[in-house]
Amino acid sequence: MAKIYRDEDINIDYVKNKKIAILGYGSQGRAWALNLRDSGLNVVVGLERKGESWKKAEEDGFKPLFTKDAVRDADIIVFLVPDMVQKNLWINSVKPYMKRGADMVFAHGFNIHYKLIDPPHDSDVYMIAPKAPGPIVRRMFESGYGVPALVAVYQNVSGSAFEKALAIAKALGCARAGVIETTFKEETETDLFGEQVILVGGVMELIKASFETLVKNGYQPEVAYFEVLNELKLIVDLIYEGGLVHMLKAVSDTAKYGGITVGKTIIDDHVKMNMVKALERIRNGEFAREWLKEYENGMPTVHKELEELRNSLIEKVGNEIRKMIFKKA
């Protein structure tokens, strides 16, 4: 079993007197900047332009700087802009201006693992990956709790890169829940795999296929929506709260038997083979290359699929169902 690091195991002094430049003020950037500041650390926000993020940072009490100015005397530089733009940000606005020996920190291993960014040999390079979207990281912190995180070290020039990663994880509130050591490779490949085969891709296609099967066989779209999508949240909540056995204990005996016996015929060996293929594309870099090309071309596949989904029956039915469910009495 992996060792779990908690608040009492971690010394925040490793980063206490460091100037930390947070690059980006989106979902994760805002959460990191606010949590680290509230934990007593010295934070500056670096942005490429004066837009909505700049305005939001000012509203939150920061005095944002342009990226090149934010990194000039920063001891720790945290890349919290989207994966696809980190390389250009590094080349144009960070590398020419950063202080020699400054730490480079990431929340996801994509750009380091696939060698899109080649860090200086005299910099510590490490990662803290909170396992939740930024708004949840912030909300849990404010509530006195935290979300779990993974930490990893790619370059340990100082000899204390791991300790600094843990210290930042603690300042984010993650050590309240627990922090586990990993590698850039493991975090990147498992994160992409999870997104593609279950969290986003897998569950979405399973919902769509289930809905379409019921509707094509003569069942009302509204009834189909309740059965294959609306109730899914309730099931996932049960799994989140107590695991798979906890969920099975909470559903009817009929649901137990049907789920246990039929589920395996849906997610069968053929599906598992497709999962292995998806994993191999992640591991050999094929997916990363394909995604970067898609982004450079303006994301035509993403826009096309979103438009088709937006106009689909399941979305139209869902919009009406949600109006009914969330209508105030």
> Residue positions in the annotated binding site for NADP(+)?
25-28, 53, 134
In contact, 120 and 96? CB cutoff 8 Å? no
Q: Is 108 a catalytic residue?
A: yes
Helix runs in the chain, H state only: 27-38, 52-59, 67-71, 83-89, 110-113, 134-142, 161-172, 184-194, 201-216, 221-225, 232-242, 244-250, 253-266, 269-283, 286-296, 300-310, 313-325
Catalytic residue among 108, 113, 121, 246: 108
The whole-angstrom separation of Cα 24 and Cα 33 is: 9
Residues in binding site for Mg(2+): 191, 195, 227, 231
| Number of C-beta neighbours around residue 314 at 10 A | 19
Alpha-carbon distance values, 153 to 32, 99, 110, 187 (Å): 19, 20, 14, 11
Residues of each annotated binding site: 25-28, 53, 134, 191, 195, 227, 231, 252
Distance (Å, whole) CA 171 – CA 41: 8
Q: Measuring CA to CA, how many Å separate 99 from each of 1, 37, 102, 226?
A: 39, 22, 6, 56
- Residues that are catalytic: 108
